[in-house]
Every structure is written in C-alpha cells, then in structure tokens.
Amino acid sequence: MPRSARPVLFVSSSGSGVLNPMLVLAGELARRGIPGLWFAADEHCRADVEAIRGRSTVEFASLGEEIPELSPTSWDDDTYWEITQRSTWKALRATALHTLEPSLRLDKHVRLDEIVRRVEPALLVVDKVSAYAARLAIARGIPYVVAGPFLPSNMLYPKVPKGFPAPNSGLGRHMTRAQRLANRLFPLRTAGLLRHPRIVAALLRFVRARRRLGIPARAGRPTAVTDHAHLVLCHTLPGVEYPMPLPDNVRTLGAMIPPLPEAPGADDDLSAWLDAYDSIVYIGLGTITRLSAEQIATLVDVAGKLDDHHVLWKLPKAQHGLLPPADKLPPNLRIESWLPSQLDVLAHPNVRVFVNHAGGGGFNEGLALGKPMVLHPLWVDCHDQAVRGADAGVSLTLTAERFDLDEVVHTVRRVLTEESFTARAEHFRRLQLELGGRAAAADAILGLPVLR
C-alpha cells in the first residue's frame, strides 16, 4: 500500500473535554475528503464518531468499555470531592493515587495494538490524556501527533522554565514571596509522590508491563509523549499562556470549533428564547460536575438577584431533583438538562457572560467565541486556566469552594458591566479567526511529510 494512501488513526479518551476537539478535527479531515480515517475510542463514543459527516467517512474502532476508575461519573462522592477540592496539591495527590494504576490501561493498549496491526496507519493523532497510545506509536515506529485543549505548560510538563508557575499549581505569573516559595516546593512535593508506597508499587507494575508489551524505556519517560511527537497541537490561543520557549513541534492554533451553527433548527424554542433577551448569562459547569444541594440553591438565588438579566443554566437531569419546585424558580431563569449545541449558545450575540469550571474545553471555546467568563475551577488543571484567564483580562475567578451568593452575583455583575472584559474577549475571538483553529490544525497535520 502506498505510504500516502495509508490511514490516519485518531485515538481519544472519552472525557468530553478531550473527545470533542478530536471529533472536530476528524470531522474537518472528513469534510476535505481525506480517505482512510479511523477513530478509536471507548464503545460509548461510537454514536458520536459515526455521526461525523463529510466527503469521506470515519470508521469507528472500539477500545472496549469505559474504565470506571478513570471516569468521574463512576466515582463515589468521597473520591469526587477529594479530587476536586480547592487545594491543588491535595487534589493532585488524590488524582495520582486514584488513577495512576497502570493495569487500568493495559486492556486499552492491547486493543489499540490489535487495531493498529489491522489498520496499518501512516499516522496516529492521540489526545494528551491517552499517553499509552503515544507509547505504542513510539514502540511501533509510527509517526504521531499529540493534541489537547491544554496550556502548553501542561502539555510539556515537566519541561517548563525555572521560576515558571508549576503546572497544576494554580499559581500565576506575578507571585508573592509566599507563592514563590510554594512554587518551588510544588514540583518537589510532586516528585515526592514517587516515594508513596502505592505509587512505588504502581510504577513497578508499569515497568513490568512496559517490558512485557515491548515498549522501550525511552517511551516511558515523563516527557516522551511530546518529545517524540511529530506535532503537538495545543487547542488554546497565544497570549493566554505566560511567555515560555516552545519546541519547534508545538503549535497553538486556537480551539477546535466546528462550522456553526452546529445544530440548526434542533431546538426552535430555545433559539427563540435566546433571541428574545438582550443580556443572557449562560451557566455551563461541565457534564461531569457534581453539585451539592447547597450549591444548586445558591445558583438559583444568583439568578434571582440578576433579575435585570436572563440566565440559561445547563444542569444534568440527574441533579434536577435538588432544585426547588418550579413555581419557586426565578422567572428569568431557564434550566436545560441538555443542549443541542453549547457552541451555538455561546456564539449567540445575546449571551454576554459564560460561567464555567475552567476546563480546557469550555474555557477555550469561550475564548474562541469571544465570551468573557466567570470561572469556578474544578480539576487540578482548571486552576491554571483560571489564573491565565484572569491575567489575560478575559475572566474573573470565584474564590469560595462551594459558591458564595454575594461573591457570585458581584463577580458576574463586574464582568457584565466592566467593558474591558468584553473587549479582551473580542480580542481573542478575532485572534481565533486569524489563526484558523480546526482548519489550521488540519493543514498542519496534512502538511506532515508522512502524509504527503
């Protein structure tokens, strides 16, 4: 088979924050009629992959069922709250102890190896979370691209300049003396985790598994995933990350936004509602955010206090039982358990502020579509995005761990009324258009020598 005719295989984990950009990128290649497109993901992602439409098709390859230990929707409440606590160090420690077990991913590796042998791809495009896929590519000598909606410092960790805010620390560029000390200690404490008995045992199992699977030692190094990549695509915008030298293979080309509207005519009632009100606050805290009854009550009260605006809140159906009776909800509040397209909502001119959890997906979509934001960081990397957003002048961050009514109302009103937030958001929207987003990312992939 001629080299240029061999397939391109996408490999993605199932979290929507990393899956959705990969679907958009695969969709862009399909629209261009690129032949031989494959997409390997967990079984429950099959419908999303098969829904991709273009001049060529995308074949789905199953990696089996989702791993419960790696899926936040499967965690018990104690695990969830421990991993999402506001102390970035404690949250990082909890994440490592809960998810670093290498045996969890062995089945994925074996399944992917079988797919690779069958498909014989010329190139793999893997998300940053699916490091096992990059290691397999290194072992098999297959060129690969790494992609993800993460800051370059997160993608390249631990290769960051001296004095740079430690990835996952939530520290900003301008630090107090105490914060500078905390910044120096953060990577040392992280390295110290390697001496934790559970992690030592897990690393020994990883080494044994690596050898058994024929993965070379160089593929197991912390920076191997990006060091050996032909291309590293950071789905964020320049000017958000603090200045740092980037390797030649790294590109920041903007968020992966599909052609809009994404779902025209899917919900005419919602479209009419968005058209009817000229100042809307959209609350979208992610599909896996688990709110308490107290937090839900606070956000309902927030909407009531913002009575000169309207509020659209995407709240998963499973949490609707924690809402007050319908007749007790503020008249300016609309709650939806599902949206045909969050991107279509964000692109609407009447949506003026986006309240989100600072996850890579939503945060970068907000930037790309020019929406100033109010951020409530959830996962460890979210704290880094939140401090970058504040320093870039496009967002403010809530400080209370479980929401404080007065703080939320005050913060949302600041972003609504201070013109600088809207101006900075508009700057990033224009920058997204200039950089090209998905089109530029597709061009970069197709320009690799292996596909010429």
Whole-number pLDDT of residue 5 = 66
The residues, any chain, with a CB within 8 Å of residue 449's CB and separated by 6 or more, are none
Domain-embedded: residue 308: yes
What pLDDT digit, counting tens, does each position of 397-430 carry?
999 888 999 999 999 999 999 999 999 999 999 9
The residues, any chain, with a CB within 8 Å of residue 269's CB and separated by 6 or more, are none
Domain-embedded: residue 155: yes
Whole-number pLDDT of residue 198 = 87
Q: 429 and 443 share a domain?
A: no
Given a cut of 80, is residue 104 above it in pLDDT?
no
Give the count of domains, the chain: 2
Domain-embedded: residue 15: yes
What is the model's pTM?
A: 0.94
Q: Are 21 and 148 in contact (CB under 8 A)?
A: yes
Q: 71 and 115 share a domain?
A: yes
Q: 426 and 440 share a domain?
A: no
Q: 243 and 276 share a domain?
A: no
Bridge partners for 59 per DSSP: 38
Residue 9 DSSP label: E
Question: Where do the DSSP E strands lie in 33-143?
Answer: 37-41, 58-62, 123-127
Q: 406 and 446 share a domain?
A: no
Whole-number pLDDT of residue 165 = 97
Q: Which domain does 405 fall in, by range?
A: 268-434
Q: Are 180 and 162 in contact (CB under 8 A)?
A: no
Mean pLDDT computed over 437-442 = 98
Given a cut of 90, is residue 26 above it in pLDDT?
yes
Distances (CA, A) of 416 to 277, 368, 419, 421, 423: 15, 18, 8, 8, 11
Domain-embedded: residue 259: no
CA 279 to chain centre: 27
What pLDDT digit, counting tens, does each position of 349-362 carry?
999 999 999 999 99
Given a cut of 50, is residue 3 above it in pLDDT?
no
Domain-embedded: residue 263: no
What percent of the chain stands above pLDDT 70? 99
Q: 174 and 53 share a domain?
A: yes
395: part of which helix (H) or strand (E)? strand 395-397
Q: 178 and 250 share a domain?
A: yes
Whole-number pLDDT of residue 111 = 95
Q: 339 and 355 share a domain?
A: yes
Mean pLDDT computed over 209-238 = 92
Domain-embedded: residue 260: no
What pLDDT digit, counting tens, does each position of 248-264 carry?
999 999 999 999 999 99
Considering the chain, what is the average pLDDT of its residues? Answer: 94
Categorize the per-residue pLDDT at 209 as very low, low, confident or very high, splitting at 50, 70 and 90. Answer: confident
Given a cut of 60, is residue 4 above it in pLDDT?
no
The residues, any chain, with a CB within 8 Å of residue 168's CB and separated by 6 or more, are 88, 92, 154, 157, 380, 381, 383, 384
The CATH number assigned to the domain holding 400 equals: 3.40.50.2000
Domain-embedded: residue 261: no
Q: 68 and 127 share a domain?
A: yes
Neighbours of 430 (CB within 10 A): 10
Q: 316 and 447 share a domain?
A: no
Mean pLDDT computed over 368-375 = 98
Domain-embedded: residue 109: yes
Q: 51 and 139 share a domain?
A: yes
Q: 429 and 440 share a domain?
A: no
Amino acid at 239: G
